[in-house]
Structures are given as C-alpha cells and as structure tokens.
A and B are shown apart, each in its own frame.
Chain A
Amino acid sequence: MREFLQLVVVGISTGSAYALVGIGMVLVFRTTGIVNFAQGSFAVLGGLFMVELVDELHGLLAGLVAVLAVGFVGSLVGFVAVGFRHRTTPLASLIITLGIALLIASLNLLAFGDRPHTYPTIFERAWDIGGVLVQPQYVLVAGVTLLAALLLTLGLQRTIAGQALGACADSRRAAELVGIDVRAVAAIAFAVSAGLSALGWVLLTPVDPVNYDSDVRIAINGFAAAAFGGLASIRLAYVGGLVLGVAQQLVVGYADEIPGLGQQARQYELAAALVIMLVLIGWRARHEVHE
C-alpha cells in the first residue's frame, strides 16, 4: 500500500505537467483547429531555459523569465503555423508544427548537448507523511498546475480577450466577421499554451531531468491527455493528464518486480500508459454514444 501511494504521488505530479501540455493543446486546437506537436518542445525549452537561468537569477524570477521567453517563442510558432489566411489547412499546419519541433530539438542539441539537464530543488528534504515520502517539489508542480488550470478557465470565461478566444473556437467565421483578427488570437493561444507547457517543466525538471529529445515523450503524453477530452475540454485534459501520469508510474513501479524485465521497465512506460489511455478514451466514447 505504501509503495502504491508513493507511486501515485509521483504520478500525480508528472501527470500534472502532462496536463499542462494537454491543456495547451486543447486551447490551440479549439481556437485554431491545429494539433500542435511543437507543444513538447515548449516544455523542453522551459526546462532548459530554467536550468540556464537558475544560476544567474532568483528562482522565482528565473521561472518567470523562462515561461515568458517560451511564451514569446510560442507566439512566433503560432504565426508561422497558422500561415496564410484561407490558404494553410489545419493539416498543413500540423506538419509545420512537427517540423518546428524537429528544428527546436536540433537547436537544443547544438546549444545544450545530449545529456540530461536538471537543477537542484530549493527544498532540503522530503516530507514523510505516514511513511510515504513526498517531495515538496511534487506538491509544488501539482499545486501550480491546478492553480494555472483554474486561472485559465476563469480568464477564458470572464475577460473579453478570453471570450474572443472562445469566439474563435465557437465559429472562426463569425469571429472574423465581427472583426476579430483570427491570426492574432491564434498567436495568443499558442503563446499561452507554450507558457503553460514551459511552466510544467520549469517546475518538474529538478525531479525529472529534461533532455533535448524529451519533446517526443512529452508531446505524445500531452496529446493523450488532451485526447481524453476529445481535444475539446480543458477540465478533461487535466483529468486525462493525472490519469496518465499515475498509470505510467504504476506500470514502471510494478513492472520492476516482474523477473527479467527489471531495468528495462522504463521503456514500456509510455507504451503501457498509451494503451491504458486508449482503453479509457474508447470507454468514454462508448459512454457518450449511449447517452
């Protein structure tokens, strides 16, 4: 039981970071119709920037700068991916985001090398809660994610800029007709989602080192989290991320005990989690049809 709880705690924290990536994907998909596979690269950039900045600046400031910088990169990617008015199809945009993801990974390899990067957590030791060791960093990731998801939801509902994003999601044509610049809104959606992804790995990197090619794993996990809600619901993407994170940890944790598998367990983490996700999505789809 203790081991189970231990795995769940870790799972919730990594799952939270996946949830942020998934929420970003939902935001971009709803407002632009684009599945953004560069979302994983934003997370990696967030982690790498943080590792660089944390030596120079106060941790809080470093995190803020990293998130804002990646947000800016995101808005540029948004402009490129959205392309020309009425000329670039969502499918073409998807390919563009894949290309950008590869480009960013290559640049990261050149700039940061091919070893994993991390920075020390500011917390000195783990909390012992009934025998379960809880790293404060895990709690931080989970808490900030929940707060960010709530703030985003509130911002989308209550502010006029958020409602403009909702308008583009509802009917891009009508949004254009009232004069909203759909490209400008798309750039903001990309920027916000990039910032969210970066935020996840700014916080997670001390407990889950980031590599130049971590983007594929992150993008796939984020996409699976988003797909849990049909790429349409921020709330369900959040839930999807948590489920996925916990499922992965359980697979890794218990696969270790299967003789002969041992050290290789980590390789099956992603595959197993995706199978679980597929089953859940299928179950949800059936459930919806029956409603």
Chain B
Amino acid sequence: MSTPPLLEIEGLVVKYGPAVALDGVSLSLEAGERVALIGPNGAGKTSLLNGVCGLLEPAAGRVRLDGRDLTGRGPGEIVRAGLTQVPEGRQVFPTLPVEANLLLGAYGREFRHELVSATLRYLRRRGEIAARLERVYSLMPKLRELRERPAGRTSGGEQQMVAIGRALMAEPRLLAIDELSLGLAPLVVQDLSAFLLRLNEEEGVALLLVEQNAVLALELCSRAYVLEAGRLVLAGPSHELEQNETVRSAYLGGGLDVADAEPGTQTEPGP
C-alpha cells in the first residue's frame, strides 16, 4: 500500500450563501512537493484555500492531510496537522513588534481549548520555541534586524517575510501562500521566491503557491493546476503547461501568434 498524499482535496465545494465559489475541485500534493494553483481573479483560489484551512466550512467534499479527514475543522486544528496559510495581503499584526508576530505563530499552535492552558503549554516549550525563532532568524536575517519594530511599519516585502516567518514558527510541513507577489516589486518577489525554493529544498517544506502571476508560479513549482470559475480546467507539470496554448494566451501574457512565430523573442513588456 502506498502512503496517502500529504494533502488530498476531493470534490471540494465552497459557497457564499447561494453563490458557488468553488464547484467540486479535487487535487493532491505529496510531501516536499512544490505545486502551483493559478487562475484569474475571482476563479475561487482564495475560497479553495479558506475552505481547506478552516476559515470557511465547505458545502461538500473532503480535505485530508496525511490521509486524516480534516474537512470543516477549525483553523487551529489544520495548523496543528501541519498546514499553515500565509494569507493574501500578508495580514501581519501591524501594532505588534516583528518578534511578537513570529512568536504568535508558535503560540497559536498551542491552542486546543483556551488561552490559559495554551499559555502554559507555550511556556513549557519556551526553550524549543526560542531555538525555532533562532532558526527563522538565521533563514531570514533581515527579520532579526527588524525584531523590535512594529510590523505595520516595515515595507511590503518585509511584511511578506514576517508573514512567512510567522507561518514557519508553527512548523508546517505544507506552506500555502496566497498571492506571494501581490503588490511587491519584481526584485523583492525574486528574493522571496529564491528563499522559498531554498526552504523547500533544504527544509523539505512542501509549497502550495496560489497565484495570479502564472509566470512566477510555473517557474517556481514543478506542477500546477489551473482554476477557472470555480473548476479545475487544466493540470500538469509546469513545463507542459508553459507550452499549453490556452495557458500561454490567458496567463503568460503572450499573444498566441507572436509566441508561436518567434518562440525565442521576448514579448513586449506590459504597461
């Protein structure tokens, strides 16, 4: 018998009242893999993530981590099972110092019922958590410099670092990142994706990259799913999708004819 995949989503349906945002999506992801989920704005990418991470209760379908059924469980339980989400728009805690942001990532994991026992469990593991904080700082030295500063007063790229570092403090085996590149300068995005690649290869953390920026997602991930209007329309290895005509025209910004006629040349930069 083969081991179950790290993440397995089966026929997931997410609704907002009568509106169907996600209409029966199935996908899976193995331990240590890098997988992208691409699609236009409003395709249901964030709904899928929120349905998986416990922010929304799915109307139908199953979510399994390591073969364990976690459908409709709260966000805390998903985090403890090994999946942490880096939400769209970073969502750092702006008034709290960077270091507190990071520590809260580890603290949140201790919540099972209430604040007092969570605090006691957290304090008991303080040494271990300090070591993990040190590890995050060594992975992202910039955060060590910013540790005292309120997270709201750091740059967009730094906030993305804080959000990723906060997620890493929960020791995830799968990191789901919603719109890594949103609102960030290309150079910053480059640094971040190099970091994620290293994180994946050296630490073995699997990545689920949810992106509108298909170029980035296909470059960084070995496999991708394409979501449109709440359904999966394509799936496959990134290099195949890069060659796929629909993907090229819709997501890679190239006109079909131009790309076919002169495969080597660069398309004109967009406005």
Q: Mark A180-220, 1 if CB is under 8 A from B, else 0.
A: 11001101100000000000000000000000000000000
Roughly how many angstroms separate A179 CA and B122 CA in the complex, as a whole number? 13
Q: State which residues 187-220 of B face A: CB under 8 Å.
A: none
Q: How far in angstroms is the closest Cβ of chain A from B162? A: 11
Roughly how many angstroms separate A169 CA and B113 CA in the complex, as a whole number? 20
Q: Are B119 and A160 in contact (CB under 8 A)?
A: yes
Q: A160: which B residues are within 8 A, CB to CB?
A: 100, 103-104, 107, 119, 122-123
Q: Are A179 and B111 in contact (CB under 8 A)?
A: yes
Among candidates B55, B123, B170, residue contacting A176 with C-beta atoms closer than 8 Å: B55
Please name the residue on chain A nearest to B91 by beta carbon: A174
Q: Are B95 and A179 in contact (CB under 8 A)?
A: no
Q: Mark B117-138, 1 if CB is under 8 A from A, else 0.
A: 0110011000000000000000
Q: Are B76 and A180 in contact (CB under 8 A)?
A: yes
Q: Are B92 and A174 in contact (CB under 8 A)?
A: yes
Q: How far in angstroms is the closest Cβ of chain B from A131? A: 46
Stretch at the interface among B4-12, B18-26, B77-85: B77-85
Please count how many residues in chain A sit with their CB below 8 Å of the partner chain's CB atoms: 25
Q: Are A163 and B109 in contact (CB under 8 A)?
A: no
Q: Mark A149-163, 1 if CB is under 8 A from B, else 0.
A: 000000000011101
Roughly how many angstroms separate A177 CA and B177 CA in the complex, as a whole number? 12
Q: Are B115 and A188 in contact (CB under 8 A)?
A: yes
Q: Are B74 and A178 in contact (CB under 8 A)?
A: no
Roughly how many angstroms separate A180 CA and B119 CA in the complex, as a whole number? 11
Q: Are B93 and A180 in contact (CB under 8 A)?
A: no
Q: Are B111 and A163 in contact (CB under 8 A)?
A: no
Q: B166: which A residues are within 8 A, CB to CB?
A: 178
Q: Are A167 and B96 in contact (CB under 8 A)?
A: yes
Please name the residue on chain B nearest to A165 by beta carbon: B115
Q: Are B113 and A173 in contact (CB under 8 A)?
A: no
A175-B111 contact given A166-B93, A170-B95, A184-B118, CB 8 Å threshold: no
Please name the residue on chain B nearest to A30 by beta carbon: B95
User: Is A265 an interface residue when CB atoms closer than 8 A count as contact?
Assistant: no
Q: How far in angstroms is the closest Cβ of chain A from B128? A: 14
Roughly how many angstroms separate A166 CA and B170 CA in the complex, as a whole number? 19
Q: B95: which A residues are within 8 A, CB to CB?
A: 166, 169-170
User: Is A264 an interface residue when CB atoms closer than 8 A count as contact?
Assistant: no
10 further contact pairs, Cβ within 8 A, besides A161-B118, A166-B95, A178-B170: A160-B104, A163-B100, A164-B107, A173-B55, A177-B55, A177-B84, A179-B75, A179-B111, A179-B170, A181-B114
Question: Measuring CB to CB, which residues of chain B are less than 8 angstroms from any residue of chain A?
Answer: 53, 55, 57, 74-76, 79-80, 84-85, 87, 91-96, 100, 103-105, 107-111, 113-116, 118-119, 122-123, 166-167, 170
Can you offer 29 A-B residue contacts whose CB atoms are under 8 A? A160-B100, A160-B122, A161-B119, A163-B107, A164-B107, A166-B95, A170-B94, A171-B92, A171-B94, A174-B92, A175-B108, A177-B55, A177-B75, A177-B79, A177-B84, A177-B87, A178-B84, A178-B109, A178-B167, A178-B170, A179-B75, A179-B79, A180-B108, A181-B115, A184-B113, A184-B115, A188-B114, A188-B115, A188-B116
